[in-house]
Amino acid sequence: MTRHRSSGSALGIILILLVLAGGAGGAYWYYFQKKDDKPQYQTAAAKRINVVQAVTATGTLSALITVQVGSQISGIIQTLNADYNTPVKQGQVVAQLDPATYQAIADQNEGELANAQASLELATLNEQRKRDLVKDNAAPQADLDKAVADLHQAQATVQIKKAVLEKSKIDLSRCTIKAPVDGVVIERKVDVGQTVAAAMTAPVLFMIANDLAKMQIEANVSEADIGGVKEDQFATFLVDAFPGRIFEGKVRLVRYAPVTVENVVTYVTVIDVANPKLELRPGMTATVSIVLAKRENAITVPNAALRFKPTPIEHKETAAAGASGESKGGERRSKGPRGGGKDLAAAASPNRKVYVLEDGEPKAIEVEVGITDNVITEVLSGLTEGQEVLTSMYVPNASAPSGNPFGMGGPRGR
């Protein structure tokens, strides 16, 4: 009996110790969990840096003046005196059509003119004879009137034949195709022996770029960005042919005419580009950045600091209560203002809010902002250089929105 009492007493003591140990462990876990519930914040210092606000667009390089050299008459290409990349001067012969047909027409018209001139001489002599006979009363007045009319008709015929001959000579001269401007042939569209037919439009034989040392980009700027684009603004651009190399230009013209493609409205912005080494070529696609404003040595903060807003902390032990009141809370929220006018006004205002830590708690500070490059933003007033601003927050034991039973938290920043 004594042995059984001793073993029962020992078992009771063990159970009591286990209960006490469990309670102590629970208290320890609860204490440190609560301690870890304190939010952790990520900060960034306001620092001085150069800020460039720009808009980006894409466009195509082209020569300032590109001339299409065509033929006003039909014929067979007899010779070609220019090819791709051939430099040409104004008036230089670049192609020759077979002139045989037009030479024959010119010769025929020249003979017809000579015949008309002979008829005019005869009509002149006849008119003079009739005039003398009428003067001597040897012929009626009607004969003189007819002689005068015949003379005038012969004169008109000569004038017509002269014009026809002149036209045939012009057509003959057009068999010789000449360069209308100084430049470089960038495209040849015909070959020797090919027949060109000039009907409603003149067939194009060559494309001549006037001066490839001076080029332009026609960039399509979206309607959301076009308001800040002005003439004489500085621009930089990249082309795939020279990776990492930055070229420069200047805005010359912002066209008023809109260009709509798939419901996207853009405006063509013409940018002048210097190309002294002839490295850039017509047709290259350029990614353009037009500088709207630039600030040097400005106090800046990351854009994340302007988007950050502290959120309420929801612990695991209150998650269930929050879930049970979700419907009611949603109903309360639905009764609030639905419009976005206030948010739009706040976004357009130069006054924004950032948060700093004061006694371990976020405190809002109103700042006046300037230009932005979509990564950092200039701060005109409200902050000093080196001042730390909040960019995100993290609560280790906050309840997870996904319903994770372990309540793992995550960064809370926007």
Residue range 241-279, pLDDT digits in tens: 999 999 999 999 999 999 998 899 999 999 999 999 999
Helix (H) or strand (E) holding 122, with range, is helix 100-135
Averaged over 34-57, what is the pLDDT?
A: 85
Q: What are phi and psi of 326, to 5 degrees?
A: -65, -45
Q: What is the assigned CATH class of domain 54-64+211-294?
A: mainly beta
Confidence check: pLDDT of 368 > 80: yes
Domain ranges for the chain: 54-64+211-294, 68-98+175-210, 99-173
pLDDT at 310: 87
Same fold, 68-98+175-210 and 99-173: no
- Beta-carbon contacts of 414 under 8 Å, excluding residues fewer than 6 positions away, are 307, 308, 309
pLDDT at 13: 72
Of 93-107, 188-202, 265-279, 322-336, where does mean pLDDT reach its minimum? 322-336
Helix (H) or strand (E) holding 252, with range, is strand 247-261
Residue 316: pLDDT band by 50, 70, 90 thresholds?
very low
Confidence check: pLDDT of 29 > 60: no
Could you give the CA distance from residue 92 to residue 182 in angstroms, rounded to a whole number? Answer: 9
pLDDT at 405: 39
Averaged over 298-314, what is the pLDDT?
A: 85
Number of neighbouring beta carbons within 10 Å of residue 152: 12
Bridge partners of 51?
Answer: 295
pTM of the model: 0.65
User: What 3-state class would DSSP assign to 5?
Assistant: helix
The fraction of the chain above a pLDDT of 70, given in percent, is 78
Could you give the CA distance from residue 406 to residue 28 in angstroms, rounded to a whole number? Answer: 18
pLDDT at 40: 86
- Which residue from 372, 382, 388 is spatially nearest to 295, judged by alpha carbons? 372
Reported as a single tens digit per residue, the pLDDT across 141-184 is 998 899 999 999 999 999 999 999 999 999 999 999 999 999 99
Could you give the CA distance from residue 233 to residue 223 in angstroms, rounded to a whole number? Answer: 17
CATH match for 99-173 among 3.30.360.10, 1.20.1740.10, 3.30.450.40, 1.10.287.470: 1.10.287.470
Could you give the CA distance from residue 278 to residue 264 in angstroms, rounded to a whole number? Answer: 34
* Per-chain mean pLDDT for the chain: 83
Could you give the CA distance from residue 341 to residue 349 in angstroms, rounded to a whole number? Answer: 12
Give me the architecture of the 68-98+175-210 domain, per CATH: Beta Barrel (2.40)
Sign of CA dihedral 228, 234, 240, 243: negative
Give the angle subtended at the CA of 171 by the CAs of 159 and 83, to the nearest 5°: 160
pLDDT at 139: 86
Confidence check: pLDDT of 338 > 70: no
Measured between alpha carbons, how far is residue 258 from residues 177, 265, 301 in Å?
38, 6, 36
